[in-house]
Each structure stands twice: as structure tokens, then as C-alpha cells.
Amino acid sequence: MAATIMDGKALAAKVKEEVRQQTAQMGRKPGLAVVLVGAMAVSMLTACSSSEVSKVKDALKDAGIARNSAMTADANDAMSKLQKATNAIAAGQLDMTKSDDVDKVQAELAKMADFSFNDPASGTATSKYDLYIWTNGSYGRPATSGKTFYPYLMKVTPIHVSDDHLPALLNKDFIKKGEFEASNQNLEILKKVLKDVKSAGVSCQKIYGMDVLLVVVDKTETVQPYTPETIHTAA
């Protein structure tokens, strides 16, 4: 049998045109879905890249900050609850303009008694940890004195989980402002804001498809409130 030489480019173009014509006649346009099964599959969809997580761990180690397993577990728990809430918001299952839906999220967050954002306004506080979220020191609310910036690690406080402010904390635009990138500059800033911390727990996972970094520290420790306006003065 004689060999046949095929023009791959021409054949591919022909197939592509046939598919284009077929899809043009369809009432509903086709899409592509990928189904992943198992714990590893979930991790692929929700976790930051392994290289970014490694860089964060190395940065903490370089700064002499020990990774605490209990704090890390609480950081992952907080991340899981934020993911659950934001996934429901994205799917239209929660509407944060409705008080009943805000109450549902608050009820879940209230289960995390270890965190200071659940401390009562008066009486004895039983919490152990502070929860911080990376913000990139992004531009915050306008102020009469000019621009305001979030601290690079923003402490989540009772105000942030209140009726008026929780919707903003879970808003996609706010999450986008704080999308984490393990660049050399960001890692150096992370080390500076945590320079007085002895141990911490971290969780880096995806919310709204963007990498989010949570840091948990003992509430007796000090996280420096550096912003883009003040970081250059940090030692």
C-alpha cells in the first residue's frame, strides 16, 4: 500500500470549519466542563499553587516565625467557611443584601470561638487568636485627608463581621483587591509585618478563583499595621 502524505494544517482547518458550522446551527452553544473526583481534585481547584505556599512557608521560616499546627487548622477552618459563603453568593444561593442571609453567614462564623472577632462587646473574652487577611495594602475608603490604605495584613474585627460590614468583607471586589501573589516584594513585606510574631498559622486558598492568604496569630502578639504609606519606614 502506497503511503499517503496528509496536510495536517489543512485537515485541522477543515475540521474546525465543520465544527464551527455545526455549532452555529445549535440553539444552545456547547461548553466544556471538567469533572474532578476526590480530595486531590478539590485541592487542585481551591488551593493556591504549591510554589506560592512553599514561598510563604519559607518566608516565615526566614523571619524566625514558627508554624503552629493549631493556628494553621483554625486558619484552614476560617478559609473553609469563607469559601462556603462566597461560593453560595456566587451561585445566587445567598444574597448579602438580605438580613436573613447575612444572619446565616454570621451564625457559621460565630462557631469559630477561637477568634477575637467573636469576642463579646462586654464581659470576658475567651478567644485565643487574631485572624488577618492579606489586602496588598490596597486603596481603601476615600478620606478627607486623601487616600487611605488597608494594612497589608488586615485584622478581622467584630466590626467586619457585623450586619453592616460583613457583605463588604465577602464582596468579590474586596477579595480581588487582596489577591495574593508570592512575589519577592510581597514576601518581604509579609516578613516585616510579622517581624514581632513568634508563631503563626497560614492558609492560602482560592476564593472567587483568586488566591487569598489568611494568617492566624496569638492575640497577645503584635502584627505591624504597615500600609504602602508606612512600609518604607519599617526596619
The kind and range of the H/E element at 212 are strand 210-218
**Whole-number average pLDDT of the chain:** 86
Q: Binning pLDDT at 50, 70 and 90, where does residue 142 land?
A: confident
Question: What mean pLDDT comes out for the span 138-143?
Answer: 80
Residue 1: the pLDDT is 56
**Average pLDDT rounded to a whole number, residues 202-210:** 93
What is the pTM (predicted TM-score) of this model? 0.79
pLDDT at 35: 47
Q: How far apart are CA 206 and CA 83, in angstroms?
A: 8
- Average pLDDT, stretch 84-98? 95
At a CB cut-off of 8 Å and minimum separation 6, what does 219 contact? 116, 127, 128, 129, 130
